[in-house]
């Protein structure tokens, strides 16, 4: 597991136009010759989101004003896919890239949804699909501090799943930070790795008291406000 980032570039978007919604753009590397499974992509996207937010530049540095502006509104995330030279070009836009095996995801510093940098505007948003995760793969990824569970009542594309897991991980990080939870230090030391769970209906009912619940507003794939994920974390050892 690894991560890398880049410094801000010139030509950043204005941040004071109230008529333009903001979003965190997220790019998933899509290499047909070596496609990762969907849960690994979603977990890597969640890690990338939190890694960016925890970065000192996002908290009190060059990125902090943009992050604050975005967090003051809806924490909207728009997931795109990129391959080949377009993936490489996207690395020039300020953000953080996290990789885990064949999965690679870049979370970008929040920005207005229009106009976008050309490196991002060229990336496709809809129709992103990765292979389903085999049960043995899922079982082999236990042990993360934070678990993000996907609702068994909702069907989503791989891109939407990645965005919702990113929401869940972000809200978990914010809650742990606000509470000065000692588990946060352990999570940071583990590179903000998450476990993506897919409980059945009984398992979903069992986690009804999770400290994080994400309700999607229903602007894209889903029809109306819909609970998509729940998240929780283990106590620090």
**pLDDT tens-digit readout, 122-162:** 999 887 899 999 988 887 788 899 999 999 999 999 999 99
Phi and psi (nearest 5°) for 227? -75, 125
pLDDT of residue 236: 64
pLDDT, tens digit, 9 for 90 and up, residues 5-43: 443 333 344 556 677 899 999 999 999 999 999 999 999
Q: Which has the higher per-residue pLDDT, 123 or 220?
A: 123
Give the model's pLDDT for residue 2.
46
Which pLDDT value is given to residue 224? 73
pLDDT in tens, 189-211: 999 999 999 999 999 999 999 99
Q: Is the pLDDT of residue 179 over 80?
A: yes
- 68-83 pLDDT tens trace: 999 998 889 999 999 9
Which burial class, exposed, middle or buried, applies to 131 when counting CB atoms under 10 A from its CB (0-12, 13-18, 19+)?
middle
Q: Place 216 in a pLDDT band, splitting at 50, 70 and 90.
A: confident
Contact 98, 55 (CB under 8 A): no
pLDDT of residue 10: 35
Q: Which H or E run contains 195?
A: strand 194-197
Domain ranges of the chain: 2-8+20-233
Above pLDDT 70, what percent of the chain? 90
CA angle 81, 49, 208 (to 5 degrees): 105
**CA 151 – CA 131 distance, rounded (Å):** 18
pTM to 2 decimal places: 0.91
User: How far apart (Å, rounded) are the C-alpha atoms in residues 50 and 18?
Assistant: 26
């Amino acid at each position: 597991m690894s991560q890398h980032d880049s410094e801000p570039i010139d030509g950043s978007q204005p941040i004071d136009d109230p008529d333009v919604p903001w979003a965190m753009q997220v790019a998933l590397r899509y290499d047909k010759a070596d496609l990762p499974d969907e849960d690994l992509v979603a977990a890597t996207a969640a890690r990338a989101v939190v890694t960016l937010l925890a970065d000192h530049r996002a908290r009190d540095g060059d990125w902090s004003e943009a992050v604050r502006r975005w967090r003051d509104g809806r924490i909207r995330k728009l997931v795109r896919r990129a391959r080949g030279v377009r993936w490489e070009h996207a690395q020039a836009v300020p953000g953080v890239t996290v990789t885990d095996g064949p999965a690679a995801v870049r979370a970008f510093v929040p920005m207005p949804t229009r106009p976008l940098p050309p490196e991002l505007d060229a990336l496709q948003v809809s129709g992103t699909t990765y292979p389903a995760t085999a049960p043995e793969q899922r079982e082999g990824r236990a042990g993360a501090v934070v678990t993000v569970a996907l609702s068994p009542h909702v069907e989503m594309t791989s891109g939407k799943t990645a965005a919702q897991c990113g929401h869940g991980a972000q809200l978990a990080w914010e809650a742990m930070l606000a509470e000065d939870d000692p588990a946060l230090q352990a999570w940071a030391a583990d590179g903000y790795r998450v476990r993506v769970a897919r409980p059945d209906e009984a398992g979903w009912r069992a986690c009804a008291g999770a400290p994080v619940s994400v309700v999607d507003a229903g602007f894209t794939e889903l029809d109306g406000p819909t609970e998509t994920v729940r998240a929780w974390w283990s106590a620090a050892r």
